[in-house]
Amino acid sequence: MQAGAELAVIVPTFNEADNIAPLVAALESCLRDIKWELIVVDDDSPDGTARQVRALAMENPRVRCVQRVGRRGLSSACIEGMLATAAPYLAVMDGDLQHDESLLPSMLSTLKSGEADIVVGSRYVAGGSSAGLVGSRAEMSQLATRLSRPFVPETLNDPMSGFFMLTRDLFEETFRSLSGIGFKILLDIFASSDRPLQFVELPYQFRGRGAGESKLDSQVLWDYGMLLLDKLVGRWLPARFVAFMAVGSLGVLVHMAVLAMSLKWVGTSFVAGQTAATLVAMTFNFSINNVVTYRDLRLRGLLGWLRGWLTFSLACSVGAVANVGVAQYLFSQDTAWVLAGLAGILVGAVWNYVITLVYTWRAAP
């Protein structure tokens, strides 16, 4: 019986169809003496990346494809890829050809020696280079590195590296605690471990990307902030709930602005103004949550948007009734009006979050 792969290379992709064949060829060249497999986790790329991977898999049994539909995210893709293999050693690298695959054998040798739980391909140790990181990408990486410091060892030079290898034992220790948010799973692993991790950094030259375009943008930086927030408060509150509340606070401002304009500029009755303000605020809240809080599960297309808006509005309407009912009951029991009002807001907010999470965005984690 043929033994399984010793090393699984996990590659999350989105619109990387033209890079897959060169990547497979590069792995074939540098992993000649190693039993390996490539697991491409594709987030339903419109350029046919998954189709290209399957075509290569028909010729090369070491190539596998996991195609995800209806969700996106580099970190969560990496987690699913690791769960899809039995290999005792797990490498993560991008599909854009910027990571130096020739470092993989040295990473594996280091892990097999037992001197580390995780080996990081580093651009910022002697012999490494970040030359392929230019313009705004370099600035975003530097900012993200500074923000990561409370969560990683001070001696880790490249906490933003997307190129690393770890043991399956470490993955199984941590994967249930991983946030799976955003694009920096290395930080997630370090921040989620219950013990100090033994790590080694090996230098590599960060290359310019192959085909396609960079996915780094301001929204990716937001996702990174959500990851940091989850590591700060996740044991008490879901990071999505905190973001949901923040959006709701902005919605209050929108509501009051529309109400003021309706009364003072348009001259409507209070009931008409309040109704308009409520509809505008709910639409604002839904739209921002759809783009930001639930970016990985964003509802797309006119029908998807309308269905989401309807379920969101219905849930928030019931939440408003619960808010008023709880506050009125507590106030009638001689509770201070401030506490009664805050309790009503909290009950309404929790209701809105849970119900919209289940019915609007389909129970996102």
User: pLDDT tens digit string along 322-350?
Assistant: 776 777 777 788 777 667 767 777 777 88
pLDDT above 70 for 216? no
Please, are residues 190 and 147 in contact by the beta-carbon 8 Å criterion? no
Kindly state the average pLDDT of the residues 166-187.
85
Secondary structure percentages of the chain, helix, strand, coil, to 5: 55, 10, 35
pLDDT exceeding 70 applies to what percent of the chain?
A: 85
pLDDT above 70 for 211? no
Q: Give the up-direction half-sphere exposure of residue 103: CA atoms within 13 A in the CB hemisphere.
A: 25
Q: Residue 364: its pLDDT value, please?
A: 42
pLDDT above 90 for 272? no
3-state class of 179 per DSSP?
coil
Average pLDDT, the chain: 83
The Cα–Cα gap between 179 and 183 comes to 11
The Cα–Cα gap between 312 and 356 comes to 6
Q: Residue 6: its pLDDT value, please?
A: 94
pLDDT above 90 for 167? yes
pLDDT exceeding 90 applies to what percent of the chain?
A: 31
pLDDT above 90 for 63? yes
pLDDT above 50 for 365? no
Burial string for 259-268 (b: 16+ CB within 10 Å, else e) reads: beebbeeeeb
The Cα–Cα gap between 298 and 290 comes to 5
Lowest model confidence (mean pLDDT) among 3-7, 191-195, 237-241: 237-241
Kindly state the average pLDDT of the residues 81-103.
92
Q: Where are the domains of the chain?
A: 7-233, 239-359
Q: Give the torsion through C-alpha atoms of 102, 104, 105, 108, to 10 deg.
A: 170
pLDDT above 60 for 297? yes
Number of DSSP helices (H) and strands (E) in the chain, helices first: 12, 7
When the candidates are 3.40.50.720, 3.90.550.10, 3.40.50.920, 3.90.420.10, the CATH number that belongs to 7-233 is 3.90.550.10
Q: Residue 359: its pLDDT value, please?
A: 85
pTM of the model: 0.72
Q: Give the up-direction half-sphere exposure of residue 211: CA atoms within 13 A in the CB hemisphere.
A: 13
pLDDT above 50 for 279? yes
